[in-house]
Structure 1
Amino acid sequence: MTMTKAEDQTIDALLDAEQARFLNDHPRSAAAWQKGQQHYLFGGPSHWMRRWAGGFPIYVESAQGARLQDIDGRAYVDFCLGDTGAMCGHTPAPVLRAAHMQLARGTTMMLPTEDSLWVGEELTRRFGLPYWTLTTSATDANRGAIRIARMITGRRKVLVFSGCYHGGVEEAHVELRDGKVGLRNMIHPNGVDHGAVSKVVEFNDLEALEKGLAEGDVACVLMEPIMTNFGMIPPLEGFHAAVRDMTRRTGSVLVIDETHTLSSGPGGYTALHGLEPDILVAGKAIAGGIPAALFGLTREIAERVWKLVPRVNPRIRQSAHLGIGGTLAGNALTVATMRAVLSEVLTPANYEIMIGLASRLAEDARVIISAHQLPWHVTQVGARAEIMFMPSPPKSGADVIAGRRANLETLLHAFYINEGILVTPFHTMFLMCPATEAADVARHADVFERFVKLLRKASVV
């Protein structure tokens, strides 16, 4: 929906007012942010931390469960949850206990612990793939999956879907704009020839996918089962079955990244919908906020790897490096907390609670949208929901580009943070954790209703 110049100017004025309110209410965070400019490249430990709509980030004093307190003494209901990293909640008791116990025994030795045996068995039980490798981030896991795909296929290119996000993977930094391939999200060129290593097509476009795979140069298709970074883009009926069939026929490895869609249930979207990836990636929440991720392989893919790099070779002292991994990957602290997450936090019972609350939040938002006859919709993926300012779910990244109202999203984020609610600053996505309560969801409905009335009063919806 195209907005008029006057409507855009009104939204800008509303945003100015919210940012002024934010500055007034957060003097200590404002001062801390100014001090941070002295020693950090973009003001904070990570440049992502500047992306909050208030104009600068709040500085956190403490976080517990689904609540967060800043250094200005203000409290928040947290639906951002570290953009999924804290999907288990902040400082969940099982993770805290496991971390304390392992810290006393040693954090990282580049040697396995017995916890790793339990974790490996549980990963196979949940996700169905038999062989796993742990990494320190989903970016590393995706890089490992890509390298393995190239090893066993001898091919170079990675096919991704426009609007995707797979961490810092260079091959995925591409998108389609007006039918042309370019770098996504204002990423600056760094000398990589993306034409040589990447292909990009629109999500749900099976004709373009088949054309891209037919040339026989794609090592792997890297995808989320439902796109979550560009606004949620659900798969059309039959899309996943067609992707699986095409990749098998053309010899491309299918890599499914469940880092966000782990919100679907204990085995992610893959287990819930019976998908059959060659490699599965998950990260962020898998160790309760401790930096960790993993990727799993089918037996067929593993055997192809072992032909190139045998599992055991007693004639040599060292195995091949493989070009993936890291000194801290699979460290004892990570594995201990991962065991706690899988055994006591991301359980079927907790998922039932989380998904129920997400369903309630989504339905409340739909009722408000309907009551005000707004051309908006809500999409839910398990414990995650998203409000999008367009009439129906997009089918592709191109649909998002055509219909997205980015300034309205920014205004919502600023209004919400002033009202004590945190949502993911990159899009309007809400995530539940086991500590989220019905009162938190009810509070969101109240704040969302008041946001809509603010827009109505300003005559911009």
Structure 2
Amino acid sequence: MIDRARLAELFERERRNFAERNPRSAAAYENASHLFGRVPMTWMNKKAGGFPLYIHGARGNRVTDIDGHEYIDFALGDTGAMAGHSAAPVVDAVGHRIFEQGGITTMLPTEDAEWVGAELTRRFGMDVWSFSLTATDANRWAIRLARALTGRPKILFHSYCYHGSVDESLIVVGPDGEGMSRPGNVGAPVKVTKTSRVAEFNDLEGLENQLRHGDVAAMLIEPALTNIGIVLPDPGYHEAVRELTRRHGTLLLIDETHTFSAGPGGATKAWGLEPDIVVIGKAIGGGIPSGAYGLSGELAESILARDDLDLVDMGGVGGTLAGSPLSVAAMRATLEKVLTDSAFEVMIETATVFTHGVQRVIDEYRLPWSINQLGARAEYRFATPYPRNGTDAAASADGELEDFLHLYLANRGILLTPFHNMALMCPQTTIADVETHHDVFEQAVRELLGR
């Protein structure tokens, strides 16, 4: 339905407007000669406008840039700021730790850590917890424990999953139906098929074929794919995954870092899942680097009883700054006072309004698009029906159209997650903010269709 010549013309207009609106950001990017790729982290180069916006400040669901523009932020640090930017209880807890108590990092425990562990147990059901600074590290350490427990070498993933920069996870289903390195994988230490197996999301036959090899220590999954659109499970899929993994002696690791949006206990609690290990990161620290993995008591006892494993010094399951007083204080404040059960109710209600509004536009203009919701987050995809697996979701991507919509929205004060069309609600997001998005989104659609 999209006239590509018209799309290109509109996109160039939006790029010109972006450059005119943001001269200070453009200059800052041009002058950043001592940064790899001109940015602090290379993924900041996902920039539809030709250069990234430079932040001046952020509070709640609002971001201001150095050119003085304010944005309604639906990106929220790609989930890292799901509690809202600089939530007051988190700022207070961090300030108390730094200025009054002292001790940002000490390699000594605090009493807050037990509170956080108990709260994570209430939410996700795992008996004991260990902390990290990122979900990527939590995944890496959980994978090591799974290999030690089972004596098996390989980890099984869904194609086009997202588990941070875990080496083993960068595997997709190739044209022949077997695993291959994900396109763009940088400097893989070994061929990924030596460490990993892969199956399509919602493909139970393909999953069982991989488990039959008998070499899979653990299956590491997102309950719904979240970084290639929101790909939701078919009815009964997770029950079958749990039955198959148990039958084949494979541990089930669930990464809730993005699916935490499903509710206060993530999809694990919302959908009644039964993992052996749960990983979570980003949002639980309210913006302060934080992550955690939780184990069943039985698995923890099995690991701790092993005298051949170094769990204290150089065994590969810890980092110097992990579980620091600062990080743990931020986690406690976030879980106790910000991302509460009642906050999730409001966030999910707001996301439902977002979803219905986007669906109305899709229906009214008869667009071949679709939208899925996962609790407090929603994402539209340029396909209908919504893809059921990662490979089909990847094939539905339209970089030109995505860049245009992101830029059009940004020029009118709205930010989506730059990697895809994800909108996340935080406790401060209002229905009025959502309606503002819908007005601008519909305006963009009308211009695209020449109406």
TM-score, scaled relative to structure 1? 0.94
- Other-structure match for 1:14: 10
Instruction: State the Cα deviation string for residues 358-387 of structure 1 (Å, max 9, x = none).
Output: 000111111111111111111111100111
**Aligned mate of 1:165, from 162, 172, 186:** 162
- Other-structure match for 1:366: 359
CA distance in 2, matches of 1:9, 1:147: 51
How far is 1:305 from its partner?
0.9
**Aligned mate of 2:71, from 67, 76, 84:** 76
Equivalent residue letter for 2:153: R
**Equivalences, count:** 448
Structure 2 gaps of 5+ residues are none
The equivalences for 1:321-332 within 5 A come to 321-332=314-325
SS in 2 for 1:11: helix
CA distance in 1, matches of 2:438, 2:186: 39
Contact 1:234 1:393 in 2 (8 A): no
CA distance in 2, matches of 1:407, 1:309: 56
Equivalent residue letter for 1:29: S
How far is 1:267 from its partner?
0.6
What's the % identity of the aligned pairs?
A: 48
**Aligned mate of 2:106, from 79, 85, 109:** 109
Matched, 1:146 2:143: yes
How far is 1:320 from its partner?
5.3
User: What is the CA RMSD across the aligned residues, in angstroms?
Assistant: 1.7
How far is 1:174 from its partner?
1.4
- Other-structure match for 1:52: 47
CA distance in 1, matches of 2:287, 2:175: 38
The equivalences for 1:193-204 within 5 A come to 193-204=191-202
Equivalent residue letter for 1:214: R
**Aligned mate of 1:379, from 372, 375, 385:** 372
Matched, 1:339 2:349: no
- Other-structure match for 1:404: 397
TM-score, scaled relative to structure 2? 0.96
CA distance in 1, matches of 2:346, 2:307: 44
How far is 1:9 from its partner?
4.2
CA distance in 2, matches of 1:219, 1:12: 48
Equivalent residue letter for 2:151: G
CA distance in 2, matches of 1:152, 1:416: 49
Instruction: State the Cα deviation string for residues 127-166 of structure 1 (Å, max 9, x = none).
Output: 1111100001010000011000001111111111111110
Equivalent residue letter for 1:32: A
Contact 2:223 2:256 in 1 (8 A): yes
**Aligned mate of 2:24, from 28, 31, 34:** 28
Contact 1:60 1:70 in 2 (8 A): yes
CA distance in 2, matches of 1:115, 1:307: 26
How far is 1:310 from its partner?
9.0
- Other-structure match for 2:422: 429
**Aligned mate of 1:125, from 118, 122, 125:** 122
- Other-structure match for 2:292: 294
Equivalent residue letter for 1:52: K
**Aligned mate of 1:443, from 432, 436, 447:** 436
Equivalent residue letter for 1:429: M
Contact 1:266 1:348 in 2 (8 A): yes
How far is 1:232 from its partner?
1.0
How far is 1:115 from its partner?
0.9
CA distance in 2, matches of 1:100, 1:305: 37
Call closer, same or farther: CA 1:130–1:197 in 2, change over 3 Å: same
